[in-house]
Amino acid sequence: MDDQPRLMHSSHGVGMAGHPGLAQHMQDSTGGADGEGRKQDIGDILQQIMTITDQSLDEAQARKHALNCHRMKPALFNVLCEIKEKTVLSIRGAQEEEPPDAQLMRLDNMLLAEGVSGPEKGGGSAAAAAAAAAAGGGGPDNSAEHSDYRAKLSQIRQIYHTELEKYEQACNEFTTHVMNLLREQSRTRPISPKEIERMVNIIHRKFSTIQMQLKQSTCEAVMILRSRFLDARRKRRNFNKQATEFLNEYFYSHLSNPYPSEEAKEELAKKCSITVSQVSNWFGNKRIRYKKNIGKFQEEANMYAARTAVTATNVSTHGSQANSPSTPNSAGSAGSFNMNSGDLFMSVQSLNGDSYQGAQVGANVQSQVGSTLNFREGSGCSLALALSDANGGWQDAPTPSSVTSPTEGPGSVHSDTSN
């Protein structure tokens, strides 16, 4: 406590000594007739200011009022303000000129790109689509995951804006409060408008730091969400049995050309409750793995062939009775797949001498290992032969017209024994 008067007096001394213009100021404002008397006045005022903290509240209030009414007060405050301007605040002012924060700009750009800040873009659907595209997905098939991503991103966006508003509101309130306080205090201590303005800037900078932390946290949240979204996409889930059945049916029914069109893929995706991309992946994997190990898949092929043949037989029977084309897939959903009207798949395994009788075409067919016969009903029950060649490539099945001679009967077989 003892230090304070000493410091005050010290600063008083420095202030007066360091500001030779004070006496002049006093003279200017008072006419300079009785300089000594005025100096005494100033000394009294300063003394009162210095000792104001040692007084009781009531005494201080009374002294404050007396000081405020003192004729020398405005001049004294002007001088003190000038001294402040030329010392501490000038140093602080030099530090205020900071370059725009690069990190803040990065954060702003990222938030804008992710659709968190800036105008509402469907809750960041563009970013979600970009994320989906990056993960190899696309189209309406990922809508469930997209909507989940969008919902969470929208949540982040909402929290971000709520917090931002809170900060801005708090910043404004605090700024107003400080300004009012400083204006109030400027009645009893020398505070220039410039200093108030500077203080406001300091407050804004402090709140900007908080805002940056908020932006950083939001960016982190978006990054976590995004990585989880991508991870979830990568996470493998086995398709259900029915989906695999549908895919296998199509694959073995189109062994001659197991490249489903976009429409077929969409149809399969719909039936299997998977995405078009997944259908593409499945066929890609299937073709590779089938070619790598035809023998292993032969049993599976036979199973689907038999099933398809039975279905086709049934359908054919009813179909011929009804005199209408049929679509023999075991699921019985006519026309669901991109099959030629009346495609009948038949796989022949000669290893154990088994042969499947295509009831519809009425022919006993025995062929080479790995060869696959694709019977096409249609005009004259034409027969297309499809097989995977020795090089592992797929040989396109001839079109019915190209393999069907008008003279060929149901039992005619185009057989490629290259395998």
Q: Of these, 154, 218, 253, 278, which contacts DNA (CB under 7 A)?
A: 278
> Should residue 254 be labelled a site residue for DNA when binding is judged by CB under 7 A?
no
Q: Which stretch binds DNA (CB under 7 A): 24-32, 86-94, 234-242, 326-334?
A: 234-242
The residue among 166 and 296 lying less far from DNA, judged by its C-beta, is 296
Q: What are phi and psi of 4, to 5 degrees?
A: -60, -50
List all residues 6 or more positions away from 99 whose beta carbon is below 8 Å from its beta carbon: none
Binding mask 122-141 for DNA (x = CB under 7 A): -------------xxx----
Q: Of these, 394, 398, 400, 413, which contacts DNA (CB under 7 A)?
A: 394
Return the amino acid letter for 175: T
> Should residue 236 be labelled a site residue for DNA when binding is judged by CB under 7 A?
yes
CB of 279 to DNA, least distance (A): 8
Torsion region of 380: left, alpha or beta (phi above 0 gives left; psi -120 to 50 gives alpha): left
Q: Which stretch binds DNA (CB under 7 A): 51-59, 190-198, 228-236, 368-376?
A: 228-236
Q: Which stretch binds DNA (CB under 7 A): 10-18, 123-131, 273-281, 357-365?
A: 273-281
CA–CA distance, 405 with 402 (Å, rounded to integer):
8
CA angle 216, 110, 141 (to 5 degrees): 115
| Among the listed residues 339, 366, 327, the one whose alpha carbon sits nearest the alpha carbon of residue 255 | 339
| Stretch (H or E) spanning 304 | helix 294-322
Block residue for tokens 């398809």: 308
Query: What are the CA-CA distances from residue 102 to residues 35, 105, 108, 210 (Å)?
Result: 57, 5, 10, 16
The burial class, CB within 10 Å (0-12 / 13-18 / 19+), for 355 is: middle
Helix axes 262-272, 241-253, angle to 10 degrees: 150
Q: Of these, 38, 84, 233, 376, which contacts DNA (CB under 7 A)?
A: 233
The residue among 167 and 239 lying less far from DNA, judged by its C-beta, is 239
Is 373:365 a contact under the CB 8 Å cutoff? yes
> Should residue 252 be labelled a site residue for DNA when binding is judged by CB under 7 A?
no
The residue among 42 and 225 lying less far from DNA, judged by its C-beta, is 225
CA–CA distance, 52 with 394 (Å, rounded to integer):
101
The residue among 229 and 356 lying less far from DNA, judged by its C-beta, is 229
Return the amino acid letter for 273: S
Residues 334-393, interacting with DNA (CB under 7 A): 392
Widest pairwise Cα distance in the chain = 139
The residue among 22 and 243 lying less far from DNA, judged by its C-beta, is 243
Q: Which stretch binds DNA (CB under 7 A): 89-97, 191-199, 206-214, 229-237?
A: 229-237
> Should residue 241 be labelled a site residue for DNA when binding is judged by CB under 7 A?
no
CA–CA distance, 89 with 82 (Å, rounded to integer):
10
> Should residue 270 be labelled a site residue for DNA when binding is judged by CB under 7 A?
no
> Should residue 281 be labelled a site residue for DNA when binding is judged by CB under 7 A?
yes
> Should residue 291 be labelled a site residue for DNA when binding is judged by CB under 7 A?
yes
Q: Of these, 180, 185, 285, 350, which contacts DNA (CB under 7 A)?
A: 285
Residues of the shown chain interacting with DNA in the complex, contacts defined by CB under 7 A: 135-137, 230, 233-239, 244, 259, 274-275, 277-278, 280-282, 284-285, 287-289, 291, 392, 394
